[in-house]
């Protein structure tokens, strides 16, 4: 087996064929004990050992990319992106209920064999469910999109517990001391939205974000989806030494081989950067025609690729927005934004008299994060943590 931590704020854990198990720093921040981590790892190992990942990957290979359940974006836009071969691969489909039940049972057993109290699996699941409720569909899905939770699943886990499990280890303090100082939320160096702009200090670029559009920032791409979810933009970067004309010509051959019909090409300059635009229409049987516009911009050793896409009918509606966003791409120069430090997890000891909300107030935790941090600490805001209890905050 291979275990790795992904530098992502998304709350997620997953397994892939071959025995690789990944957890994000987002889910590490959510959990509060070694037993919780053991339960999550055990659950994912259950998927691996029962070969659920292999079965799901095989199913995915037979499906159109982007049409899978649990897509990172709306089904409508995923259809466009999938047909356009835009690189929005949905790596993981939803597990079935039977798969989840089997992985839960195996995870409980693995935790027990490793000497950890498996009851903390239910603790983590409850926290995940509460986080999902807080998101209310506003955020792009993570763990819950691939591991559907239900009260029945939590009850089933609790029914698997044995009285002697209570003597097994939980190790909350050791765990909390380990995750202390972990980056919390978005790492500014990897890009962030502020006001009406997206900034990427690491790569030193910025561009305008349309009002009302959802932004999903990952190490692989930045995706912007319209409020109506029928249009979007995808930005990726590729290290390439070709001159821009040769690069665009090769891309045209790839897109045409995938069914794209080149409608036109234009050379221009955007804020001092050379740019080549290519417009395509893609038609497939039983699918609405898709309109795409690729914009290739050379910045240093990287080529930045903007893909604007919508239906043929919907594209004119978004044309001014697409132009405005791509036309705003520029070098980032604001040093205060470039040098912005990330928030990190910090631990404070409860005094035994303040409520959790009172602790948050005293530490200066932003009020709009109180609700998720209450879930992360496994307490209600009005609860009074016992003296000496370690409370997670961000600083």
Say whether both 62 and 118 belong to one domain: yes
For residue 27, pLDDT beyond 50: yes
Q: Name the average pLDDT for the chain.
A: 87
Question: What is the tally of structural domains in the chain?
Answer: 3
Say whether both 359 and 290 belong to one domain: no
> For residue 167, how many other CB atoms are within 10 A of its CB?
8
CATH number of the domain within which 246 lies: 3.40.1000.10
Residue 88 confidence (pLDDT):
32
Burial class (CB in 10 A: 0-12, 13-18, 19+), 144: middle
Residue 73 confidence (pLDDT):
30
Q: What percent of the chain has pLDDT over 90?
A: 71
For residue 43, pLDDT beyond 80: yes
Residue 161 lies in a domain: yes
Say whether both 174 and 61 belong to one domain: yes
For residue 59, pLDDT beyond 50: no
Residue indicated by tokens 């029928």: 230
Residue 60 confidence (pLDDT):
41
Say whether both 214 and 258 belong to one domain: yes
Residue 184 lies in a domain: no
When pLDDT is cut at 50, 70 and 90, the band that residue 387 belongs to is very high
- Out of 179, 198, 222, pick the residue that ends a domain: 179
Terminal C-alpha separation, the chain: 35
Say whether both 366 and 349 belong to one domain: yes
Residue positions counted in the chain: 395
For residue 67, pLDDT beyond 80: no
Taking CA atoms, 304 is separated from 241, 289, 365, in Å, by: 13, 25, 37
When pLDDT is cut at 50, 70 and 90, the band that residue 133 belongs to is confident
Q: What is the mean pLDDT of residues 110-129?
A: 97
Q: What is the mean pLDDT of residues 126-145?
A: 71
244: left (phi over 0), alpha (psi -120 to 50) or beta: alpha
- Cα–Cα distance measured from residue 202 to residue 340, given in angstroms and rounded to the nearest whole number: 11
The neighbouring-strand residues paired with 291 are 281, 310
> For residue 354, how many other CB atoms are within 10 A of its CB?
16
- Cα–Cα distance measured from residue 13 to residue 207, given in angstroms and rounded to the nearest whole number: 31
Query: How is residue 342 annotated by DSSP?
Result: P
Say whether both 384 and 256 belong to one domain: no
Residue 314 lies in a domain: yes
For residue 84, pLDDT beyond 50: no
Q: In this structure, are residues 12 and 27 in contact, taking their beta carbons and an 8 Å threshold?
A: yes
Q: Which structural domain range is residue 385 located in?
A: 344-394
DSSP 81-127: HHHTT-S-----PPPPHHHHHHHHHHHHHHHHHTTB-THHHHHHHHH
pTM: 0.73
Residue 198 lies in a domain: yes
CATH number of the domain within which 387 lies: 3.10.350
Say whether both 32 and 87 belong to one domain: yes
Between strands 20-24 and 2-6, the pairing is: parallel
Q: Count Cα neighbours of 166 within 13 Å in the Cβ-side half-sphere.
A: 3
The neighbouring-strand residues paired with 345 are 394
For residue 325, pLDDT beyond 50: yes
Q: What percent of the chain has pLDDT over 70?
A: 86
Q: What is the mean pLDDT of residues 130-139?
A: 73
> 77 or 73: whose pLDDT is higher?
77
pLDDT for 355-370, tens place per residue? 999 999 999 999 999 9
- Cα–Cα distance measured from residue 21 to residue 45, given in angstroms and rounded to the nearest whole number: 7
Q: In this structure, are residues 329 and 271 in contact, taking their beta carbons and an 8 Å threshold?
A: yes
Residue 294 lies in a domain: yes
When pLDDT is cut at 50, 70 and 90, the band that residue 207 belongs to is very high
Residue 171 lies in a domain: yes
Q: In this structure, are residues 31 and 176 in contact, taking their beta carbons and an 8 Å threshold?
A: no
Take residue 22 and report the two structure tokens written for it.
Answer: 């990944």
Take residue 322 and report the two structure tokens written for it.
Answer: 């697409």
Say whether both 357 and 282 belong to one domain: no
> For residue 58, how many other CB atoms are within 10 A of its CB?
11
Say whether both 153 and 222 belong to one domain: no
For residue 129, pLDDT beyond 60: yes
Say whether both 153 and 38 belong to one domain: yes
Its sign, for the CA torsion 186, 391, 108, 158, is negative
- Cα–Cα distance measured from residue 79 to residue 238, given in angstroms and rounded to the nearest whole number: 24
- Out of 126, 160, 179, pick the residue that ends a domain: 179
Say whether both 158 and 236 belong to one domain: no
- Out of 338, 360, 384, pick the residue that ends a domain: 338
Cα dihedral 315/319/325/330 (nearest 10): 120
Min mean pLDDT across 41-55, 76-90, 104-118, 182-196 is at 76-90
Residue 163 lies in a domain: yes
Say whether both 310 and 389 belong to one domain: no
Residue 102 confidence (pLDDT):
95
Residue 47 lies in a domain: yes
Question: Which range scores top for mean pLDDT: 237-241, 257-261, 304-308?
Answer: 304-308
Residue 351 backbone phi and psi in degrees, to 5: -95, -5
Min mean pLDDT across 109-113, 134-138, 223-227, 240-244 is at 134-138
Take residue 313 and report the two structure tokens written for it.
Answer: 């009918």
In three-state form (DSSP H/G/I as H, E/B as E, the rest C), the secondary structure along 272-334 is CEEEEEEEEEECCCCCCCEEEEEEEEEECCEEEEEEEEEECCCHHHHHHHHHHHHHCCEECCC
């Amino acid at each position: 087996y291979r275990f790795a931590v992904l530098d992502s704020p998304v709350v997620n854990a997953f397994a892939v064929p071959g025995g690789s198990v990944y957890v994000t720093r987002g889910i590490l921040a959510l959990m509060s004990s070694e037993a919780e981590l053991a339960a999550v790892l055990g659950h994912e190992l259950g998927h691996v050992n029962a070969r659920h990942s292999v079965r799901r990957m095989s199913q995915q290979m037979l499906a159109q990319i982007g049409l899978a359940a649990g897509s990172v974006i709306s089904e409508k836009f995923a259809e466009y992106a999938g047909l356009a071969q835009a690189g929005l691969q949905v790596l993981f489909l939803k597990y079935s209920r039977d798969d989840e039940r089997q992985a839960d049972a195996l995870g409980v057993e693995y935790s027990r064999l490793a000497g950890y109290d498996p009851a903390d699996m239910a603790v983590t699941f409850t926290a995940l469910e509460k986080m999902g409720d807080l998101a209310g569909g506003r955020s792009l899905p993570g763990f819950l999109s691939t591991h559907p939770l239900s009260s029945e699943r939590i009850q089933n886990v609790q029914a698997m517990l044995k009285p002697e499990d209570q003597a097994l280890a939980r190790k909350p303090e050791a765990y909390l001391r380990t995750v202390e100082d972990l980056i919390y939320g978005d790492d500014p160096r990897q890009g962030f939205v502020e006001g009406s702009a997206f900034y990427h200090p690491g790569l030193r670029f910025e561009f305008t974000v349309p009002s009302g559009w959802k932004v999903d920032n990952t190490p692989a791409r930045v995706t912007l989806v319209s409020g109506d979810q029928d249009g979007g933009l995808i930005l990726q970067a590729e290290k390439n030494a070709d001159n821009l004309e040769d690069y665009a010509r090769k891309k045209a051959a790839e897109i045409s081989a995938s069914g794209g019909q080149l409608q036109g090409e234009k050379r221009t300059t955007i804020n001092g950067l050379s740019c080549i635009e290519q417009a395509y229409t893609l038609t497939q049987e039983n699918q609405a025609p898709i309109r795409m516009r690729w914009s290739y911009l050379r910045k240093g050793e990287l080529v930045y690729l903007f893909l604007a896409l919508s239906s043929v009918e919907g594209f004119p509606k978004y044309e001014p927005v697409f132009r405005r966003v791509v036309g705003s791409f520029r070098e980032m120069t604001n040093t205060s934004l470039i040098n912005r430090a990330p928030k990190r997890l910090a631990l404070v000891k409860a005094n035994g008299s303040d409520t959790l909300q009172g602790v948050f107030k005293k530490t200066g935790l932003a009020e709009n994060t109180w609700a998720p941090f209450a879930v992360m600490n496994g307490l209600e805001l009005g609860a009074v943590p016992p003296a000496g209890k370690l409370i997670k905050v961000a600083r």
